Amino acid sequence: MTVSADLPETSVAPPPPVHTHGTPLTNTILYLDGVHVSFDGFRALNQLSLAIAPGEMRAIIGPNGAGKTTMMDCITGKTKPDGGVVMFDGAVDLTQLDEAAIAELGIGRKFQKPTVFETLTVEDNVRLALKGPRSPWSALFGERNRIARERITEVLDIARMTEHRDRLAADLSHGQKQWLEIAMLLAQDPKLLLVDEPVAGMTDSETMETAKLLKKICAQGHAVVVVEHDMLFVRELDCKVTVLHEGSTLAEGSIDAVSVNERVVEVYLGR
Ligand SMILES: Nc1ncnc2c1ncn2[C@@H]1O[C@H](COP(=O)(O)OP(=O)(O)OP(=O)(O)O)[C@@H](O)[C@H]1O
């Protein structure tokens, strides 16, 4: 078939193509290209590009001020980039959506400090996080309750929190609170989970447990992006590592490869 360039006046113009600077957009759950963000003239992100595949685990490392938090903020809609592409699932332009709409798409974010409801039990914390209407007047309430209980059981099992189900969140250790919050995010069945410094303040054994938990979540098909400074933890994640520096990608590869990269040693690991 020959396509004529002389379209009739009544034809609907196709949507403008997303400019991806030549990088393939297919098979990505998250795709950033040429993203820049300035605060009062200071470039926090500088032509940042990043591609995460569905179900991939990725660790993001880099010195203080490298732009890690700003990058997460651009993905969740907290910060609007001054330019560049931020696409979810190959098709959704995140720069056009607000934070609530982005969360609805299936992007969960865990901040560094645990934010659980201290006065509720572990089970009730997860119940509150579940998706969907929970009106007690619904004819389907009994059925919905059963499904909710099953899902709570499932996520508490994954997070190894089953034995703490009836405890008040306030009585949990710091590590357990972090796992509870991860379980709460998991209850929402996110396609992409953004996790900010999850092992800060954890004991060594809690740190190793957290790596296992995130790997298990990833193995179940959720993509996980983890920002972390703890190199032992990053090594334990056993995934591709992206090193940010001055708002751009400095290096990308296995932990072994980036650890011997001269520039990475100079700006970050050698400090
Ligand atoms: N709202 C803001 N206003 C002005 N400058 C900001 C703002 N947010 C971030 N910055 C600056 O942008 C740069 C990147 O900050 P960002 O918090 O993204 O870095 P980071 O890699 O997360 O650092 P850290 O490891 O310390 O958390 C820093 O120099 C920071 O001071």
Q: Show the domains of the chain with their CATH numbers.
A: 26-106+191-270 (3.40.50.300), 113-189 (no CATH)
Phi and psi of 86, rounded to 5°? -130, 105
Low-confidence ranges of the chain (pLDDT < 70): 1-25, 131-142, 271
Length of the chain: 271
Picking from 208, 218, 240, 247, the residue whose alpha carbon sits closest to that of residue 74 is 247
Whole-number Å distance between alpha carbons of 263 and 257: 12
Whole-number Å distance between alpha carbons of 218 and 237: 10
CA of 67 to the centre of ligand 1 (A): 6
Query: Which pLDDT value is given to residue 23?
Result: 52
Q: Give the chain's largest Cα–Cα span.
A: 71
Asked whether 241 and 269 are in contact (CB, 8 A), the reply is no
pTM of the model: 0.87
Cβ of residue 205 lying under 6 Å from some atom of ligand 1: no
Query: Which pLDDT value is given to residue 9?
Result: 40
Cβ of residue 250 lying under 6 Å from some atom of ligand 1: no
CA of 267 to the centre of ligand 1 (A): 16
Sequence-ordered strand ranges (E) for the chain: 30-39, 42-52, 57-61, 83-88, 92-93, 107-110, 192-196, 223-227, 240-245, 248-253
Whole-number Å distance between alpha carbons of 34 and 46: 7
Query: Which pLDDT value is given to residue 267?
Result: 87
Whole-number Å distance between alpha carbons of 76 and 97: 9
| Mutual angle of helices 174-187 and 204-219, in 10-degree steps | 10
Task: Give the three-state DSSP class for 220.
Answer: coil
Query: Which pLDDT value is given to residue 82?
Result: 96
Mutate to test the pocket of ligand 1, among 35, 45, 68 (most ligand atoms within 8 A of CB): 68
Whole-number Å distance between alpha carbons of 264 and 83: 26
Cβ contacts of 48 within 8 Å, gap of 6 or more: 32, 34, 35, 36, 67, 71, 84, 244, 247, 248, 249
Whole-number Å distance between alpha carbons of 199 and 190: 21
Query: Which pLDDT value is given to residue 12?
Result: 46
pLDDT digits (tens, 9 = 90+) for 149-204: 899 999 999 999 999 999 999 999 999 999 999 999 999 999 999 999 999 999 99
CA of 247 to the centre of ligand 1 (A): 9
Query: Which pLDDT value is given to residue 13?
Result: 46
